[in-house]
Structure 1
């Protein structure tokens, strides 16, 4: 999650919200790939969480990154909470428990994503090494408890943390202990958005199975392959899920706006201050009837910030966010954008992917989504194992990337980034299953080796 938007343009009607979203439409020649990933800081000496303050804390890490990169600091009062590359469009931000996030710049190919990631990880190591900080590539912190997890000094997170226990039992775990990798992709028209949204939602559990990488909690197996994904099932039903309405006739920008208007708000930001308006209606704010802000109208920043607090499996802004995957090692960070770029940025593969999923019903999709966190490739949909469907999906993605024909200096297209996913399907084992085998075998029931095996 990058910086909050600051745009005081007044909004007066639902139609203006729809029009703002429609402005995301762009020609295919302008399509870009934006990859975001989170990682878990830990102390190299004791594999413990890293606090914000202190000589070897997160603040020092951000200040060091600022000196190295020359990026603009993102401040909350006197507190540095992130960095923004005002020229390239990338950003570094903090998640609630100190998870360190790179929101990558919009790039033309997965090859460029790979270069960006390599540069970022090298820069982070350069600054973090002397501070004794390492970074773990997992979908959930495997060792320490929620109580042991540090809390970052961000106003929006204080409001969210107070609200979460009122609407679910695992929301605080989502905030403080999970990590994801996601890719943001464009659309050429409303119809293109609709098709991509539907394919993305239907196949998001397939991505969850392929990237499952969070099988440990507080030093022990938690019974899941992707506990990060399981956590989302009991975070806040009003703002999460598989969005069955996206498959209804007439779905488009207007229908998503209507959905977003009904999602309860968390906060509004006025100047540097976050105002707690949890559970209230954006519709009231839009109409100038919000009890906490009498007479005030919604601004564009209110709307954009509100959209960022909605967490479905695929999220619509002026682009689409694919949100179903656990963070993993470098190869997986590149594999995720390769998967979705191959499926959604090639017309032939996109149409074929829709043919693959269009007969699935709401209940079938939901059942697969509910089963995948525990069963992974062994879950089923429409009489087929997820592993079989994943093989079909990867074939379509590779074919799409081949037709895109974005070549690197060695003459390779983007398809080679799919290799770790293809290997997982061949083996029938997700990253989590491999970790569990190590845990039960040569690691002798310890998660400590994770801090070397899965450190960036």
Structure 2
């Protein structure tokens, strides 16, 4: 690893302030989609690491526009290029999936959209130094870290930070909107009610897993008038997860914050490159990376299930009329959220457990989805995309349901059949 010059604390803070919110007219949209990979004939059977490595080699040879990666538990991820329109983003990912899915089927592998693995316990298949260090770090907080790394999957929508100036598309309002609307999105698209075949008591177990991790790197920064300053403090005061090394483990001294690392220079002076890498180990529900990464949506079932959360989120963030409506709809939720940061505050906890059975979240979701449906034609969304959002709204949102409820209904029906079968014997 090449040696980089050490920099001062002030220089690093200035660097963070310059890159976290890159402001301007919202023009770009992106999506990162994860799937659980399973044996096509038996989803309950974990896929051997050798098969996953072979699949990775095959898939990386495909002419994809999206970046293809695998997560520690073998989850497949496609990260789209930044698109200048919702339609362009959907078309690019759809074209890539038209190559990826047949290749996976030819290898006897399936791709399942669940926020949390419903079949078996976490099993790590990647042994890179980053993931070795990450596992050791999160093990200090219990088993949730391994579940997060190896058993969760999401649809992560990326939107531009917005204008520097205040207003419906200003970056300050979009930052607050993301943290309030995020609970509504988590509830509406909740799709992880089980673990190892059993109900967990939550519609989105994935959100519960995230809330049980190291709070210094997975909770939201404090909300306030200056999002940049809050983010800089958050990053600098977060513990260092790992120190990259040419040889040997990447372990970091326990409790060492990045700020302390800068001030002490021990075990070596950090660099700007170290800071940039440190940011990739922070996992708040909304992460500013120039743009905003919304990280709270469970992976969705169905070949095109990812399109609806992408379209709804894009509409509510990038159409000025819909953005203003969404902000007014979710602003009262701040009282429910209280002073605690997401996802550990009451609003996000209610979203994780009850999803849209919660009256307040249900009312907000109905209004937000109506605003999104009105905005999609103005964003140039196709008739097929508008129809998919309308169908999801009617099937779930209007009825106070979410995809997790379908899984629970099927599970309870199966259990009922088993009881009836036993009684008849």
Normalising by structure 1, we get a TM-score of 0.81
Q: Could you list the runs of 5+ residues in structure 1 that have no partner in the other structure?
A: 70-84, 447-456
Q: Could you say which residue in structure 2 is the equivalent of 1:266?
A: 241
Instruction: Label 1:349 to 1:331 Cα distance change in 2 as closer, same or farther (>3 A).
Output: same
Instruction: Label 1:439 to 1:316 Cα distance change in 2 as closer, same or farther (>3 A).
Output: same
Query: Equivalent residues in 2 for 1:298-447 (5 A)?
Result: 298-299=271-272, 301-329=273-301, 330-359=303-332, 360-361=334-335, 362-363=337-338, 366-380=345-359, 385-404=360-379, 406-408=380-382, 412=383, 415-423=386-394, 424-441=396-413
Tell me if the contact between 2:326 and 2:371 (Cα under 8 Å) persists in the aligned partners: yes
Structure with bigger strand share is 1
Answer yes or no: is 1:49 the counterpart of 2:46.
Answer: yes
Instruction: Label 1:98 to 1:341 Cα distance change in 2 as closer, same or farther (>3 A).
Output: same
Q: Could you say which residue in structure 1 is the equivalent of 2:75?
A: 99
Q: Could you list the runs of 5+ residues in structure 2 that have no partner in the other structure?
A: 419-425
Tell me if the contact between 1:264 and 1:281 (Cα under 8 Å) persists in the aligned partners: yes
Tell me if the contact between 1:205 and 1:372 (Cα under 8 Å) persists in the aligned partners: yes
Q: Which of 139, 148, 153 is equivalent to 2:127? A: 153
Tell me if the contact between 2:308 and 2:385 (Cα under 8 Å) persists in the aligned partners: no
Kindly tell me the number of residue pairs found equivalent between the two proteins.
403
Tell me if the contact between 2:178 and 2:286 (Cα under 8 Å) persists in the aligned partners: yes
Structure with bigger helix share is 2
In 1, Cα distance between equivalents of 2:370 and 2:248: 49
In 2, Cα distance between equivalents of 1:434 and 1:6: 52
- Residue by residue over 1:134-189, the C-alpha shift from the partner in whole angstroms, topping out at 9 and shown as x without a partner, is 1111111111123xx24212211111111112134422211111111111111233
Instruction: Give structure 1 regions of 4+ aligned residues with deviation exceeding 6 angstroms.
Output: 443-446
Tell me if the contact between 2:172 and 2:227 (Cα under 8 Å) persists in the aligned partners: yes
Instruction: Label 1:397 to 1:292 Cα distance change in 2 as closer, same or farther (>3 A).
Output: same
Normalising by structure 2, we get a TM-score of 0.86
Q: Could you say which residue in structure 1 is the equivalent of 2:423?
A: none
Q: What is the CA distance between 1:14 and its match in structure 2?
A: 3.5
Query: Equivalent residues in 2 for 1:24-35 (5 A)?
Result: 24-28=21-25, 31-35=27-31
- Residue by residue over 1:382-434, the C-alpha shift from the partner in whole angstroms, topping out at 9 and shown as x without a partner, is xxx21111011112222333333x254xxx49644423441211232211101
Answer yes or no: is 1:39 the counterpart of 2:35.
Answer: yes
Q: Could you say which residue in structure 1 is the equivalent of 2:18?
A: 22
- Residue by residue over 1:94-123, the C-alpha shift from the partner in whole angstroms, topping out at 9 and shown as x without a partner, is 211111111111112222232233223222
Tell me if the contact between 1:226 and 1:432 (Cα under 8 Å) persists in the aligned partners: yes
Instruction: Label 1:302 to 1:6 Cα distance change in 2 as closer, same or farther (>3 A).
Output: farther
Tell me if the contact between 1:338 and 1:414 (Cα under 8 Å) persists in the aligned partners: yes
Tell me if the contact between 2:139 and 2:145 (Cα under 8 Å) persists in the aligned partners: yes
Instruction: Label 1:165 to 1:49 Cα distance change in 2 as closer, same or farther (>3 A).
Output: same
Query: Equivalent residues in 2 for 1:236-315 (5 A)?
Result: 236-243=214-221, 245-246=222-223, 248=224, 250-270=225-245, 275-277=250-252, 279-287=255-263, 289-293=264-268, 296-299=269-272, 301-315=273-287
Q: What is the CA distance between 1:216 and its match in structure 2?
A: 1.6
Tell me if the contact between 1:208 and 1:325 (Cα under 8 Å) persists in the aligned partners: yes
